[in-house]
Amino acid sequence: MRVLIVEDEPRLARNIARMLREDAGYAVDVSGDGEDGLHMAITNPYDLIVLDLLLPKLDGLTLLQRLRADGKQTPVLILTSLGQTQDVVAGLNAGSDDYLTKPFEAAEFLARAKALVRRSYGTGDSTLRVADLAIDTKARQVTRSKHRLTLTPMEYRLLEYLAMRKNQVVSKTDILEHLYEFNWERFSNVVEVYISSLRRKIDADASGKTPKLIVTVRGMGYMLQEPEEK
Ligand code: CA
């Protein structure tokens, strides 16, 4: 999952970015003004935008209106010190999905951010399930057949993304765009490396009884697949 933070207070932006990276396992890009933020929001496939309202160059509400006018449905969480009812209403009317007033509790912010991402993928439950594989997105713990698996942060990020899109073929480009932050070197072969290490952990004991869940679709990408009922 990849998030854009549009926030002009560097310290707050850094704190939010750290929370999202460390506690949610998301890739995070930060923009410090509304113009640049809008450009990034339109040109990258974010799973969530955390948006401040009082911003240099272009205010948050206008950014949001332009984003929606451009047809982008990316979930938006407004994070602002403007907490009057009229401000909240204006934000929601402009196409925001949620609203949180500064100062805020980290736990509440994270819960709301994760819920928005899940909902945009059509999942209400915080635990993602594919056959006997369970991904607890709150605790970031993964089990298969109730055995706890230890994943690296990048393996977890990849698995969570595939699980959100389960039963869909996900291309390598798509995976790279949702796993990595802006300006990171993106080598398409790293996807293969992470897929093989995930396979070793998740599908290691797969047999007739416990089917393999990670499927390669030649020339197209990868899929985390719910096995058909026998
Ligand atoms: Ca501000």
User: How does the average pLDDT of the chain come out, rounded?
Assistant: 93
Query: What separation in angstroms does the CA of 153 have from each of 82, 160, 168, 169, 216?
Result: 35, 11, 23, 22, 22
Distance 226 CA to ligand 1 centre (A): 44
Which has the higher per-residue pLDDT, 36 or 187? 36
DSSP, res 216: E
CB count in 10 Å sphere of residue 229: 4
Task: Confirm if 126 and 138 have CB atoms less than 8 A apart.
Answer: yes
pLDDT at 181: 86
Distance 73 CA to ligand 1 centre (A): 23
- As given in the structure block, the two tokens for residue 225 are 């697949």
Distance 52 CA to ligand 1 centre (A): 6
pLDDT at 211: 86
Q: Above 80 in pLDDT, residue 209?
A: no
Q: What average pLDDT does range 202-218 have in this prediction?
A: 84
Q: Minimum mean pLDDT among 7-11, 163-167, 198-202, 203-207: which range?
A: 203-207
pLDDT digits (tens, 9 = 90+) for 55-113: 999 999 999 999 999 999 999 999 998 888 898 899 899 999 999 999 999 999 999 99
Give ion ligand 1 contacts, CB < 5 A. Answer: 8, 52, 54
Rounded CA-CA distance 175/191 in Å is 7
* Helix or strand holding residue 178 (H, E): helix 172-179
Distance 219 CA to ligand 1 centre (A): 45
pLDDT above 70 coverage of the chain, percent: 97
pLDDT at 217: 95
pLDDT digits (tens, 9 = 90+) for 30-60: 999 999 999 999 999 999 999 999 999 999 9
Distance 79 CA to ligand 1 centre (A): 9
Q: What average pLDDT does range 167-194 have in this prediction?
A: 87
Pairing of strands 27-31, 2-6: parallel
Residue 71 falls in which region: left (phi positive, over 0), alpha (psi -120 to 50) or beta: left
Query: What separation in angstroms does the CA of 230 have from each of 208, 209, 226?
Result: 11, 11, 12
Q: Above 80 in pLDDT, residue 230?
A: no
pLDDT at 223: 96
Task: Confirm if 58 and 34 have CB atoms less than 8 A apart.
Answer: yes
pLDDT at 205: 75
pLDDT above 90 coverage of the chain, percent: 81
